[in-house]
């Protein structure tokens, strides 16, 4: 098995376990009950009203990509790594009966949960497809918006994802993505499977992210918002994972975190943040 496929399998297994946990935490933050994470990620009560409770409590994102998008009635919205479905349900409501929201996920447990939530929502313009974000099961130039919530950082082949975004967007189509970025991560962090699944070790720098989107042919690339993770946030994250190994963001080989030097965690303060990226396809 290729290294990239091994990473994808590890991520899929981690999130399959995470969706079954009784409580969880948002990526790179302190422990919170399921459902509270969605509010911390920037969703408003209006965003969440009428959505199935399961879609809300199983939100694993680091932001609300739709908060700064201009999705309108009739648009086609594609969500990369749609999970239990919170963003495709919100997108489906925004797009209306004349539009459509499509979710892509590679994890069977997430797909099953999303299908249940779509059925419970009553929305007829929302669908879920199985696939990987590096090779989207979507026609070229077919969507008005690509959204994603703390998922692209998990890809072992990010430039392929950026190229796929450019491919599936219609000319003039736009991207609105919330994701984790990081600078100067030491090898001990980058080589951690648990921290990779927890949205940290696989993160690239903001500069690399912007460069990758531009290299894929997207224009007007910009960061519209940032939330930098400080030392108390990082310390709470590590502490909660050690004390509650079954209730973290992404269950995995937690024993390795006990060997991480506390000074290493201190050195990461201010070097990891969630960012809201915007870009569009020429045309």
Residue 20 in this model has a pLDDT that exceeds 60: yes
Average pLDDT, the chain: 80
Across the beta sheet with 219-228, the strand order is: 126-130, 100-105, 76-80, 143-149, 169-182, 272-280, 219-228
Superfamily (CATH) of domain 3-280: Vaccinia Virus protein VP39 (3.40.50.150)
Residue 179's nearest CA partner among 157, 156, 147 is 147
- SS3 category, 107: coil
Asked if 74 and 188 touch (Cβ cutoff 8 Å), the reply is: no
The residue that leads in pLDDT, 12 or 14, is: 12
Q: What digits encode the pLDDT tens for the residues 174-224?
A: 999 999 999 988 888 888 787 787 788 899 999 999 999 999 999 999 999
List b or e across 171-180, with b for residues whose CB sees 16 or more CB atoms inside 10 angstroms: eebbbbbbbb
- SS3 category, 171: strand
Confidence of residue 10 (pLDDT cuts 50, 70, 90): confident
Asked if 135 and 111 touch (Cβ cutoff 8 Å), the reply is: no
Asked if 113 and 80 touch (Cβ cutoff 8 Å), the reply is: no
Residue 31's nearest CA partner among 200, 269, 261, 233 is 233
The residue that leads in pLDDT, 243 or 216, is: 216
Q: Where are the domains of the chain?
A: 3-280
């Amino acid at each position: 098995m290729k290294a990239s496929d091994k990473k994808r399998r590890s991520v899929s297994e981690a999130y399959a376990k995470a969706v079954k946990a009784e409580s969880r935490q948002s990526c790179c933050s302190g422990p919170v009950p399921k459902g509270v994470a969605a509010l911390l990620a920037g969703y408003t009560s209006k965003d969440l009203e009428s959505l199935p409770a399961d879609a809300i409590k199983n939100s694993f994102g680091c932001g609300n990509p739709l908060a700064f998008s201009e999705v309108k009635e009739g648009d086609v919205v594609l969500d990369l790594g749609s999970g239990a479905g919170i963003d495709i349900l919100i997108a489906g409501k925004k797009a209306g009966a004349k539009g459509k929201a499509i979710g892509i996920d590679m994890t069977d447990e997430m797909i099953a949960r999303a299908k249940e939530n779509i059925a419970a929502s009553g929305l007829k313009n929302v669908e879920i497809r199985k696939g990987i974000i590096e090779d989207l099961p979507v026609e070229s130039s077919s969507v008005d918006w690509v959204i994603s919530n703390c998922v692209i950082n998990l890809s072992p082949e990010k430039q392929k994802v950026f190229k796929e975004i450019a491919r599936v967007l219609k000319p003039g189509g736009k991207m609105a993505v919330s994701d984790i970025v990081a600078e100067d991560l030491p090898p001990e962090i980058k080589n951690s499977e648990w921290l990779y699944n927890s949205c940290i070790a696989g993160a690239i720098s903001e500069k690399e992210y912007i460069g990758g989107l531009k290299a894929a042919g997207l224009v007007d690339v910009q960061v519209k918002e940032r939330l930098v993770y400080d030392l108390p946030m990082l310390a709470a994250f590590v502490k909660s994972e050690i004390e509650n190994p079954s209730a973290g963001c992404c269950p995995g080989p937690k024993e390795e975190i006990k060997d991480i030097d506390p000074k290493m965690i201190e050195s990461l303060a201010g070097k990891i943040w969630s960012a809201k990226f915007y870009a569009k396809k020429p045309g």
